[in-house]
Chain A
Amino acid sequence: MNPKMLISAHVDHEVEAPWKDRLEELLETHPEWREEEALHRKVKNALAAAEVSGEAQSQAAVWSRLQASLSPPEAVRSPFVWWSYPAAAAVLALVLGAGFWLGSHSAPVAGASVAEIQVEVPGGFNLQLSGEGQLLKVSTLQGGAP
Protein backbone atom coordinates (compact mmCIF):
# COMPACT_ATOMS: atom_id res chain seq x y z
CA MET A 1 0.00 0.00 0.00
CA ASN A 2 1.20 3.48 -0.83
CA PRO A 3 2.00 5.06 2.56
CA LYS A 4 0.58 8.32 1.30
CA MET A 5 -2.84 6.70 1.39
CA LEU A 6 -2.70 7.29 5.08
CA ILE A 7 -2.91 11.01 4.37
CA SER A 8 -6.44 10.70 3.05
CA ALA A 9 -7.42 8.46 5.94
CA HIS A 10 -5.91 11.00 8.34
CA VAL A 11 -8.16 13.69 6.89
CA ASP A 12 -11.08 11.41 7.74
CA HIS A 13 -9.75 10.72 11.25
CA GLU A 14 -9.40 7.07 10.31
CA VAL A 15 -5.79 6.49 11.28
CA GLU A 16 -5.28 4.85 14.63
CA ALA A 17 -2.31 4.70 16.96
CA PRO A 18 0.58 4.07 16.58
CA TRP A 19 0.34 5.00 12.89
CA LYS A 20 -1.40 8.25 13.65
CA ASP A 21 1.51 9.60 15.71
CA ARG A 22 4.08 8.48 13.17
CA LEU A 23 2.12 10.06 10.34
CA GLU A 24 1.81 13.34 12.20
CA GLU A 25 5.56 13.37 12.75
CA LEU A 26 6.04 12.84 9.04
CA LEU A 27 3.64 15.65 8.24
CA GLU A 28 5.61 18.00 10.46
CA THR A 29 8.94 17.15 8.92
CA HIS A 30 7.98 16.66 5.28
CA PRO A 31 6.43 19.68 3.55
CA GLU A 32 5.43 17.68 0.48
CA TRP A 33 3.34 15.37 2.67
CA ARG A 34 1.84 18.40 4.33
CA GLU A 35 0.94 19.87 0.96
CA GLU A 36 -0.69 16.67 -0.09
CA GLU A 37 -2.71 16.54 3.08
CA ALA A 38 -3.79 20.14 2.57
CA LEU A 39 -4.96 19.23 -0.93
CA HIS A 40 -7.00 16.30 0.32
CA ARG A 41 -8.51 18.51 2.97
CA LYS A 42 -9.47 21.07 0.33
CA VAL A 43 -11.20 18.41 -1.73
CA LYS A 44 -13.08 17.22 1.32
CA ASN A 45 -14.15 20.77 2.17
CA ALA A 46 -15.19 21.45 -1.42
CA LEU A 47 -17.42 18.38 -1.41
CA ALA A 48 -18.93 19.40 1.90
CA ALA A 49 -19.54 22.96 0.71
CA ALA A 50 -21.09 21.98 -2.61
CA GLU A 51 -24.80 22.15 -1.92
CA VAL A 52 -27.50 20.47 -3.91
CA SER A 53 -29.75 23.33 -4.93
CA GLY A 54 -33.48 22.79 -5.10
CA GLU A 55 -33.38 19.87 -2.71
CA ALA A 56 -36.54 21.03 -0.94
CA GLN A 57 -38.45 21.29 -4.22
CA SER A 58 -37.37 17.80 -5.18
CA GLN A 59 -38.47 16.52 -1.79
CA ALA A 60 -41.93 18.03 -2.23
CA ALA A 61 -42.23 16.82 -5.83
CA VAL A 62 -41.30 13.23 -5.01
CA TRP A 63 -43.67 13.25 -2.03
CA SER A 64 -46.54 14.33 -4.27
CA ARG A 65 -45.75 11.58 -6.76
CA LEU A 66 -45.56 9.00 -3.98
CA GLN A 67 -48.95 10.07 -2.70
CA ALA A 68 -50.39 9.67 -6.17
CA SER A 69 -48.85 6.29 -6.83
CA LEU A 70 -49.20 4.50 -3.50
CA SER A 71 -52.38 3.47 -1.77
CA PRO A 72 -52.74 4.35 1.91
CA PRO A 73 -50.99 1.96 4.23
CA GLU A 74 -53.26 -0.91 5.25
CA ALA A 75 -52.58 -0.36 8.90
CA VAL A 76 -54.44 2.92 8.89
CA ARG A 77 -57.38 1.66 6.84
CA SER A 78 -60.64 0.86 8.52
CA PRO A 79 -60.47 -2.63 10.04
CA PHE A 80 -63.75 -3.39 8.27
CA VAL A 81 -62.27 -3.01 4.83
CA TRP A 82 -60.55 -6.35 4.37
CA TRP A 83 -63.43 -8.60 5.41
CA SER A 84 -66.55 -6.49 4.99
CA TYR A 85 -67.13 -7.17 1.29
CA PRO A 86 -67.12 -10.99 1.40
CA ALA A 87 -69.00 -10.95 4.69
CA ALA A 88 -71.67 -8.70 3.30
CA ALA A 89 -71.97 -10.92 0.24
CA ALA A 90 -72.34 -14.02 2.43
CA VAL A 91 -75.05 -12.40 4.57
CA LEU A 92 -76.89 -11.23 1.50
CA ALA A 93 -76.78 -14.73 -0.03
CA LEU A 94 -78.05 -16.23 3.23
CA VAL A 95 -80.95 -13.78 3.44
CA LEU A 96 -81.90 -14.26 -0.18
CA GLY A 97 -81.67 -18.05 0.12
CA ALA A 98 -83.79 -18.13 3.25
CA GLY A 99 -86.36 -15.84 1.70
CA PHE A 100 -86.54 -17.96 -1.40
CA TRP A 101 -86.92 -21.14 0.63
CA LEU A 102 -89.65 -19.69 2.82
CA GLY A 103 -91.46 -18.29 -0.18
CA SER A 104 -91.44 -21.60 -1.99
CA HIS A 105 -92.67 -23.53 1.07
CA SER A 106 -95.31 -21.17 2.40
CA ALA A 107 -97.64 -21.02 -0.60
CA PRO A 108 -100.22 -23.84 -0.61
CA VAL A 109 -100.37 -26.07 -3.59
CA ALA A 110 -103.76 -26.49 -5.24
CA GLY A 111 -105.33 -29.90 -4.60
CA ALA A 112 -102.84 -30.90 -2.00
CA SER A 113 -104.11 -32.66 1.10
CA VAL A 114 -103.99 -30.72 4.32
CA ALA A 115 -104.41 -31.76 7.91
CA GLU A 116 -107.98 -32.36 8.97
CA ILE A 117 -109.07 -32.08 12.58
CA GLN A 118 -112.36 -31.87 14.36
CA VAL A 119 -113.01 -29.22 16.96
CA GLU A 120 -116.06 -28.28 18.97
CA VAL A 121 -117.00 -24.65 19.04
CA PRO A 122 -119.59 -22.84 21.14
CA GLY A 123 -123.09 -22.47 19.81
CA GLY A 124 -123.69 -19.48 17.62
CA PHE A 125 -120.07 -19.39 16.58
CA ASN A 126 -119.78 -18.31 12.99
CA LEU A 127 -116.72 -19.05 10.87
CA GLN A 128 -116.23 -17.73 7.39
CA LEU A 129 -115.06 -20.54 5.13
CA SER A 130 -112.83 -19.34 2.40
CA GLY A 131 -111.81 -22.42 0.45
CA GLU A 132 -108.38 -22.40 -1.23
CA GLY A 133 -105.41 -20.78 0.41
CA GLN A 134 -106.11 -21.77 3.95
CA LEU A 135 -103.79 -23.94 5.96
CA LEU A 136 -106.63 -25.60 7.87
CA LYS A 137 -109.54 -27.11 6.06
CA VAL A 138 -112.79 -26.92 8.04
CA SER A 139 -115.00 -29.83 6.98
CA THR A 140 -117.47 -30.05 9.87
CA LEU A 141 -118.72 -27.23 11.95
CA GLN A 142 -121.00 -28.15 14.76
CA GLY A 143 -122.10 -25.69 17.36
CA GLY A 144 -123.59 -26.81 20.65
CA ALA A 145 -126.33 -25.09 22.59
CA PRO A 146 -125.43 -21.62 23.83
Chain B
Amino acid sequence: MKSFLLFSITGDANSAGTFQRVYEAWFPLLFRIVYRMVGKREAAEEIVQEAFIKYYERREQLPTDDGLKYWLIRVVRNLALNYEKRRGRERRALERVFHEPAPRSQPAALETLVSAELTEDVQAALLRLPTKLREVLVLKEYTGFAYAEIGKMLSITEGNVKVRVFRARTQLAKLLKEVL
Protein backbone atom coordinates (compact mmCIF):
# COMPACT_ATOMS: atom_id res chain seq x y z
CA MET B 1 0.00 0.00 0.00
CA LYS B 2 1.21 3.45 -0.78
CA SER B 3 2.38 5.65 2.03
CA PHE B 4 0.36 8.67 3.09
CA LEU B 5 3.55 10.59 2.71
CA LEU B 6 3.49 10.02 -1.02
CA PHE B 7 0.26 11.93 -1.39
CA SER B 8 0.35 15.61 -1.95
CA ILE B 9 -0.66 18.08 0.71
CA THR B 10 -3.72 19.73 -0.68
CA GLY B 11 -5.00 21.67 2.29
CA ASP B 12 -8.30 19.84 1.98
CA ALA B 13 -9.86 18.98 5.36
CA ASN B 14 -9.95 15.33 4.31
CA SER B 15 -6.60 15.09 2.68
CA ALA B 16 -3.70 12.94 3.73
CA GLY B 17 -1.72 16.08 4.48
CA THR B 18 -4.36 17.26 6.92
CA PHE B 19 -4.46 13.88 8.60
CA GLN B 20 -0.72 13.96 9.03
CA ARG B 21 -0.80 17.49 10.43
CA VAL B 22 -3.48 16.54 12.94
CA TYR B 23 -1.46 13.51 13.92
CA GLU B 24 1.73 15.47 14.43
CA ALA B 25 -0.05 18.23 16.32
CA TRP B 26 -1.92 16.06 18.80
CA PHE B 27 -0.07 12.79 19.17
CA PRO B 28 2.34 14.00 21.90
CA LEU B 29 -0.45 15.39 24.07
CA LEU B 30 -2.73 12.38 23.60
CA PHE B 31 0.07 9.91 24.19
CA ARG B 32 1.11 11.69 27.39
CA ILE B 33 -2.45 11.68 28.72
CA VAL B 34 -2.97 8.00 27.97
CA TYR B 35 0.43 6.93 29.19
CA ARG B 36 -0.19 8.72 32.49
CA MET B 37 -3.55 7.01 32.80
CA VAL B 38 -2.59 3.43 31.90
CA GLY B 39 1.12 3.36 32.69
CA LYS B 40 2.10 1.06 29.81
CA ARG B 41 3.75 2.25 26.64
CA GLU B 42 2.33 -0.48 24.38
CA ALA B 43 -1.18 0.06 25.68
CA ALA B 44 -0.84 3.82 25.29
CA GLU B 45 0.33 3.39 21.69
CA GLU B 46 -2.59 1.10 20.87
CA ILE B 47 -5.11 3.44 22.43
CA VAL B 48 -3.81 6.51 20.61
CA GLN B 49 -3.65 4.54 17.38
CA GLU B 50 -7.28 3.51 17.79
CA ALA B 51 -8.25 7.10 18.45
CA PHE B 52 -6.63 8.22 15.20
CA ILE B 53 -8.36 5.43 13.31
CA LYS B 54 -11.67 6.71 14.68
CA TYR B 55 -10.67 10.21 13.64
CA TYR B 56 -9.77 8.98 10.15
CA GLU B 57 -13.10 7.24 9.75
CA ARG B 58 -15.16 10.23 10.91
CA ARG B 59 -12.95 13.10 9.81
CA GLU B 60 -15.56 14.54 7.47
CA GLN B 61 -18.03 15.12 10.32
CA LEU B 62 -15.51 16.37 12.89
CA PRO B 63 -14.58 19.96 13.66
CA THR B 64 -11.17 21.20 12.61
CA ASP B 65 -10.51 23.73 15.38
CA ASP B 66 -10.25 23.26 19.16
CA GLY B 67 -13.34 21.08 19.01
CA LEU B 68 -11.20 18.40 17.44
CA LYS B 69 -8.80 18.53 20.38
CA TYR B 70 -11.69 18.02 22.83
CA TRP B 71 -13.04 15.18 20.71
CA LEU B 72 -9.68 13.41 20.53
CA ILE B 73 -9.11 13.78 24.27
CA ARG B 74 -12.57 12.40 25.02
CA VAL B 75 -11.90 9.44 22.75
CA VAL B 76 -8.55 8.54 24.31
CA ARG B 77 -9.96 9.07 27.79
CA ASN B 78 -12.84 6.66 27.11
CA LEU B 79 -10.53 4.11 25.51
CA ALA B 80 -8.15 4.37 28.46
CA LEU B 81 -10.99 3.85 30.92
CA ASN B 82 -12.16 0.81 28.97
CA TYR B 83 -8.64 -0.53 29.04
CA GLU B 84 -8.48 -0.02 32.80
CA LYS B 85 -11.79 -1.82 33.30
CA ARG B 86 -10.68 -4.71 31.12
CA ARG B 87 -7.42 -4.99 32.98
CA GLY B 88 -9.28 -4.92 36.29
CA ARG B 89 -11.57 -7.73 35.16
CA GLU B 90 -8.62 -9.83 34.04
CA ARG B 91 -6.87 -9.30 37.34
CA ARG B 92 -9.95 -10.29 39.31
CA ALA B 93 -10.41 -13.39 37.15
CA LEU B 94 -6.82 -14.42 37.83
CA GLU B 95 -7.32 -13.84 41.52
CA ARG B 96 -10.39 -16.08 41.48
CA VAL B 97 -8.56 -18.83 39.63
CA PHE B 98 -5.46 -18.81 41.77
CA HIS B 99 -7.12 -17.65 45.01
CA GLU B 100 -4.44 -15.09 45.54
CA PRO B 101 -3.91 -11.51 44.48
CA ALA B 102 -2.52 -11.25 40.97
CA PRO B 103 0.54 -9.05 40.66
CA ARG B 104 -0.31 -5.49 39.78
CA SER B 105 1.68 -3.51 37.31
CA GLN B 106 2.41 -0.81 39.82
CA PRO B 107 4.61 -1.28 42.87
CA ALA B 108 2.76 -2.60 45.90
CA ALA B 109 4.71 -0.73 48.52
CA LEU B 110 5.75 2.86 48.84
CA GLU B 111 9.31 1.76 49.69
CA THR B 112 9.81 0.57 46.13
CA LEU B 113 9.21 4.08 44.89
CA VAL B 114 12.06 5.60 46.80
CA SER B 115 14.88 4.03 44.87
CA ALA B 116 13.43 4.76 41.44
CA GLU B 117 13.80 7.85 39.29
CA LEU B 118 11.39 10.73 39.85
CA THR B 119 9.63 10.09 36.57
CA GLU B 120 8.98 6.49 37.41
CA ASP B 121 7.97 7.48 40.92
CA VAL B 122 5.42 9.91 39.62
CA GLN B 123 4.03 7.40 37.16
CA ALA B 124 3.83 4.66 39.75
CA ALA B 125 2.15 6.98 42.23
CA LEU B 126 -0.33 8.16 39.60
CA LEU B 127 -1.33 4.58 38.90
CA ARG B 128 -2.14 4.09 42.54
CA LEU B 129 -4.72 6.85 42.48
CA PRO B 130 -8.35 5.95 41.91
CA THR B 131 -9.20 6.35 38.23
CA LYS B 132 -11.61 9.23 38.87
CA LEU B 133 -8.92 11.26 40.61
CA ARG B 134 -6.19 10.28 38.18
CA GLU B 135 -8.03 11.28 35.02
CA VAL B 136 -8.93 14.71 36.35
CA LEU B 137 -5.40 15.40 37.52
CA VAL B 138 -3.87 14.16 34.25
CA LEU B 139 -6.22 16.33 32.22
CA LYS B 140 -5.43 19.33 34.40
CA GLU B 141 -1.66 18.88 34.29
CA TYR B 142 -1.17 17.84 30.68
CA THR B 143 -3.82 19.64 28.69
CA GLY B 144 -3.84 23.02 30.38
CA PHE B 145 -7.65 23.00 30.46
CA ALA B 146 -9.46 25.04 33.08
CA TYR B 147 -11.56 23.27 35.70
CA ALA B 148 -14.72 24.32 33.88
CA GLU B 149 -13.51 22.79 30.59
CA ILE B 150 -12.56 19.53 32.30
CA GLY B 151 -15.93 19.45 33.99
CA LYS B 152 -17.65 19.88 30.65
CA MET B 153 -15.53 17.17 29.10
CA LEU B 154 -16.24 14.67 31.87
CA SER B 155 -19.83 15.76 32.48
CA ILE B 156 -19.19 16.74 36.08
CA THR B 157 -19.42 20.09 37.83
CA GLU B 158 -16.55 22.52 38.11
CA GLY B 159 -16.73 22.14 41.89
CA ASN B 160 -16.36 18.40 41.52
CA VAL B 161 -13.25 18.90 39.39
CA LYS B 162 -11.83 21.16 42.08
CA VAL B 163 -12.46 18.55 44.77
CA ARG B 164 -10.96 15.74 42.72
CA VAL B 165 -7.82 17.71 41.86
CA PHE B 166 -7.35 18.56 45.54
CA ARG B 167 -7.79 14.94 46.61
CA ALA B 168 -5.56 13.65 43.84
CA ARG B 169 -2.73 16.01 44.79
CA THR B 170 -3.14 15.27 48.48
CA GLN B 171 -2.89 11.51 47.85
CA LEU B 172 0.02 11.94 45.47
CA ALA B 173 1.84 14.04 48.04
CA LYS B 174 1.52 11.18 50.53
CA LEU B 175 2.71 8.63 47.99
CA LEU B 176 5.63 10.78 46.91
CA LYS B 177 6.58 12.21 50.29
CA GLU B 178 9.92 10.44 50.24
CA VAL B 179 11.03 11.91 46.95
CA LEU B 180 9.45 15.35 46.92
Contact = CB atoms under 8 A, between A and B. Distances in A.
The size bracket of the interface on A is: 35 or more
A137 interface: no
Interface in A30-73: 39-40, 42-44, 46-55, 58-59, 61-63, 65-73
Interface of B is mostly: helix
B1 A73 contact: no
Contacts of B48: 62
Given A42-B180, A76-B15, 7 more contacts: A4-B166, A5-B162, A39-B180, A43-B176, A63-B27, A71-B1, A76-B12
Interface string B1-32: 11111011010101110010001100110011
Contacts of A44: 141, 169
B122 interface: yes
Contact of A5 (B4, B15, B121, B166): B166
A55 B5 CA distance: 21
A63 B35 CA distance: 17
Interface stretch (B49-57, B63-71, B82-90, B94-102): B49-57
Contacts of B1: 67-68, 71-72
B53 A8 contact: no
Interface in B130-180: 137, 140-142, 146-147, 159, 162-163, 165-166, 169-170, 172-173, 176, 179-180
B118 interface: yes
A14 interface: yes
A132 B97 CA distance: 94
A83 B8 CA distance: 22
B159 A1 contact: yes
Nearest to A46: B122
13 contacts: A1-B159, A8-B166, A14-B146, A44-B169, A46-B180, A48-B141, A51-B119, A55-B32, A58-B31, A59-B31, A65-B49, A68-B1, A73-B16
Contacts of A9: 147, 162, 165-166
